[in-house]
């Protein structure tokens, strides 16, 4: 009998997701028509979104209210549209370095402004009133950092309410008595769906409202919408959805907003291969959030079973940018077979508008239970220390006109230079640059070490790892971004 019941539930869920599939597919196919072109990189700032908000102020469809200020005095704006009785409240970037959904919100405004999808928008805006609070932590966004100017994690300030931004969030939620809340974040790109090599491109959580993790109607509604959103993402990133652990965190806004009576859906944007600026993930945010709003508006979510929620795999954290396995490493005269897990850390420039990478070894040993965005079977290859090119070059111009790949094939991973750029720590050719008096130490693999070495087989160097980027020296194929400049 139970099997028959579960089968019926599955059929109902498939039927409901099918009813919304048309809008989902159309949203995905037409996305470029609505993408906000001025927000095309992750490191967006307060001043980047102000002209867009000003434009909305002049549109009679919207109500734009200044609802508070950040610690450093930047305005917080609540943007509302719709005439429906049910209130849906969406906020983004309570962590300043998590901007993917902020971009998607402005894409959604472009969608709402367009003449297309008129029937669907009528259904949404006549049944719901949508309220958006983009970039809740503009001070953190200015520095591209998680925390507020007070130095605290706003998402752990729901009880004490020390941050003015957190006070605004609480006041708006309470004044709206929002039926649904979307708490929009970014997560590390190194999460994977448990026991798989799939990166979690999108992760969800319907936070618990007590230690017992009880499921009342409020939390169940959040779970149902998440089950629906998962079905949307699976179309475009199959297997790349994760679920956060739902242990109750009494200080967190999500847990408390669920407790206060708003069905809270936490969405985290993670990683997607070859999507450094998270523009494909931004698109998935746009498609899935609008699809979810539509299913809330027409009430279809109510008939979805919560059982599908627990079937979403939990997040794990076993991904590297580069996993190299089976390599031979000689230490003190003995050969050992090891795997290396390498990540490319982002180091911001002074204005927090761009970044360069430092490739570091994160782990080594038996990494057979770990995965990589890029993996390389180094079986039969020896890890070889790179040398310093014997001639000193005058400037970067001389380097760019040199055959750097020939240098690498001959075992050189460093070039000495007379004139180093004063304000640069990176170079965009695949070899590290050192100053006239810089001494390169012996290769010593270990946690935190810069990942620069060569891979040799039968006396021939076929691959180089320069600052964490794997380069095929025969084809010159790689996803190389930058090497490093060592000045002293």
**Tens digit of each residue's pLDDT (9 = 90 or more) over 289-311:** 999 999 999 999 999 999 999 99
Cβ 49 vs Cβ 107: under 8 Å: no
Q: Which of 19-23, 131-135, 279-283, 416-420 has the least mean pLDDT?
A: 19-23
The CATH architecture annotation of domain 319-486 reads Roll (2.30)
How far is it, in rounded angstroms, from Cα 433 to Cα 180?
Answer: 53
How far is it, in rounded angstroms, from Cα 365 to Cα 226?
Answer: 38
Q: Which residue in the block uniquely carries the two structure tokens 């305005």?
A: 75
Q: What is the pLDDT of residues 311-339, one digit of tens each?
A: 999 999 999 999 999 999 999 999 999 99
- Statement: residue 119 has pLDDT above 50: yes
Average pLDDT, the chain: 95
How far is it, in rounded angstroms, from Cα 35 to Cα 96?
Answer: 21
How far is it, in rounded angstroms, from Cα 286 to Cα 201?
Answer: 14
Tell me what the mean pLDDT of segment 34-49 comes to.
97
How far is it, in rounded angstroms, from Cα 190 to Cα 206?
Answer: 22
Tell me what the mean pLDDT of segment 400-417 comes to.
96
- Statement: residue 206 has pLDDT above 70: yes
Residues of the chain with CATH 2.30.40.10: 319-486
Q: What is the pLDDT of residues 363-391, one digit of tens each?
A: 999 999 999 999 999 999 999 999 999 99
pLDDT of residue 4: 42
pLDDT of residue 337: 98
Instruction: With both helix axes pointing from N to C terminus, report the angle between 100-113 and 118-127 in degrees, rounded to the nearest 10.
Output: 110
How far is it, in rounded angstroms, from Cα 69 to Cα 92?
Answer: 15
pLDDT band at 488 (very low <50, low <70, confident <90, very high): confident
- Statement: residue 16 has pLDDT above 60: no
How far is it, in rounded angstroms, from Cα 322 to Cα 173?
Answer: 42
The CATH class given to the 2-316 domain equals alpha beta
How far is it, in rounded angstroms, from Cα 83 to Cα 315?
Answer: 38
Pairing of strands 355-365, 334-348: antiparallel
- Statement: residue 196 has pLDDT above 60: yes
Cβ 158 vs Cβ 171: under 8 Å: no
The two three-digit tokens of residue 138, written as one number: 């503009």
Pairing of strands 382-384, 453-457: antiparallel
- Statement: residue 229 has pLDDT above 50: yes
pLDDT of residue 481: 98
How far is it, in rounded angstroms, from Cα 282 to Cα 270?
Answer: 10
Q: What is the pLDDT of residues 92-107, one digit of tens each?
A: 999 999 999 999 999 9
Look up the pTM and report it. Answer: 0.93
Residues of the chain with CATH 3.40.630.10: 2-316
- Statement: residue 11 has pLDDT above 70: no
- Statement: residue 261 has pLDDT above 90: yes
pLDDT of residue 3: 45
- Statement: residue 12 has pLDDT above 50: no
- Statement: residue 19 has pLDDT above 70: no
């Amino acid at each position: 009998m139970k099997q028959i019941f579960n089968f019926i539930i599955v059929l109902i869920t498939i039927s409901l997701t099918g009813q919304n599939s048309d809008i989902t597919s159309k949203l995905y196919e037409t996305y470029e028509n609505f993408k906000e072109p001025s927000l095309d990189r992750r490191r967006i700032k307060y001043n980047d979104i102000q002209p867009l908000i000003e434009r909305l102020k002049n549109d009679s469809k919207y109500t734009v209210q200044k609802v508070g200020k950040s610690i450093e005095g930047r305005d917080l704006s609540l943007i509302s549209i719709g005439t429906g009785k049910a209130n849906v409240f969406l906020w983004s970037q309570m962590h300043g370095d998590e901007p993917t959904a902020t971009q998607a919100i402005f894409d959604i405004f472009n969608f709402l402004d367009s003449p297309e999808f008129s029937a669907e928008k009528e259904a949404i805006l006549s049944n719901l009133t949508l309220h958006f609070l983009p970039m809740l932590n503009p001070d953190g966004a200015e520095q591209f950092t998680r925390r507020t100017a007070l130095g605290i994690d706003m998402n752990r300030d729901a009880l004490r309410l020390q941050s003015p931004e957190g006070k605004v969030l609480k006041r708006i939620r309470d004044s709206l008595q929002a039926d649904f809340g979307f708490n929009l974040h970014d997560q590390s790109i190194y999460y994977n769906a448990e026991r798989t090599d799939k990166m979690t491109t999108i992760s969800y959580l319907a936070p618990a409202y007590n230690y017992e993790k009880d499921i009342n109607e409020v939390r169940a509604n959040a779970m149902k919408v998440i089950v629906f959103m998962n079905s949307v993402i699976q179309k475009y990133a199959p297997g790349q959805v994760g679920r956060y652990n739902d242990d109750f965190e009494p200080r967190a806004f999500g847990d408390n907003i669920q407790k206060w009576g708003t069905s809270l859906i936490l969405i985290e944007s993670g990683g997607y291969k070859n999507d450094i600026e998270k523009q494909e993930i931004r698109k998935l945010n746009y498609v899935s959030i609008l699809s979810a709003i539509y299913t809330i508006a027409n009430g279809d979510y109510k008939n979805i079973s919560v059982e599908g929620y627990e079937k979403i795999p939990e997040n794990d954290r076993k991904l590297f940018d580069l996993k190299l396995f089976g390599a031979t490493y000689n230490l003190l005269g003995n050969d050992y077979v090891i795997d290396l897990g390498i990540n490319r850390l982002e180091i911001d420039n002074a204005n927090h508008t761009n970044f360069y990478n430092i490739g570091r070894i994160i782990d080594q040993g038996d990494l057979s239970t770990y995965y990589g965005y890029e993996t390389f079977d180094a079986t039969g290859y020896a890890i070889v220390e790179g040398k310093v090119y014997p001639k000193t070059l005058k400037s970067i111009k001389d380097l760019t006109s040199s055959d750097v790949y020939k240098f690498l094939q001959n075992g050189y991973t460093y070039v000495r230079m007379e004139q180093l750029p004063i304000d640069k720590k990176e170079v965009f050719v695949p070899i590290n640059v050192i100053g006239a008096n810089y001494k390169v130490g012996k290769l010593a693999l270990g946690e935190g070490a810069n990942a620069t070495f060569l891979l040799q087989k039968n006396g021939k160097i076929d691959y180089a790892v320069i600052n964490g980027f794997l380069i095929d020296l025969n084809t010159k194929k790689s996803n190389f971004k930058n090497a490093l400049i060592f000045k002293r």
